[in-house]
Amino acid sequence: MKRPDATPAVPAAPATPLEPVPVVRPFGWTLIVAAGIGVVLATWLIYGTGADGMWAGYRDGFAATVVLVCAMGLNTSLPKRPLLGIVALAGILLILFAVFLDDPTTVFVSELVGGASMLAGAILYGAGDR
C-alpha cells in the first residue's frame, strides 16, 4: 500500500507539551469557597443546640471562617502556597474531627464532606498554579 504524497511521514510541527487546563484553578477556588460557606451554614442551620452541636459549631465555624479568609487571600497578591497550606490543613483537621470525635450524624457528614471538599479544592488550585 502506498501513502499519499500529501501526508508527510513525520509531523511537521513538534507536539506541544501538555499544560493544566485553565479551569482547574478557578474550579479549585470555587470548591474551597463552597466548602467554607457550606460548613458555616451547616453550623448555623443543622447542628444541634446541645453540647455536642454547640462545640462542633464553634470548632467547625472557626475552621470554615479561616478557610474563607484564605480563599479571599488567594485572589490577592499575597503568596499562594501558605494560604493553600492553611486550607489543606483545615480540610484535614475537619476530616479528623469527623472520624475521631463522637458527634451526631449531621455533624459527622458535614465535617467529612466539608473537609474533603476543602482538601480537594486546595489540590485543584495548586495543580492549576503551575
Percent of the chain with pLDDT over 90: 68
What span, in angstroms and rounded, lies between the C-alpha atoms of 109 and 105? Answer: 6
How far is residue 8 from each of residues 11, 13, 57, 84, measured CA to CA in Å? Answer: 6, 11, 66, 47
Q: What percentage of the chain reaches a pLDDT higher than 70?
A: 82
- The domains of the chain are located at 32-127
pLDDT in the model for residue 1: 61
CA atoms within 13 A on the CB side of 15: 4
Work out the pLDDT band at 64, boundaries 50, 70, 90. very high
Compute the average pLDDT of residues 50-75.
Answer: 93
Mean pLDDT of 17-27: 76
Q: What is the pLDDT of residue 40?
A: 96
Question: Exposure of 105 by Cβ count < 10 A (0-12 exposed, 13-18 middle, 19+ buried)?
Answer: exposed
**Whole-prediction pTM value?**
0.80
Residue range 50-76: average pLDDT? 93
Whether the pLDDT of residue 51 is over 90: the answer is no
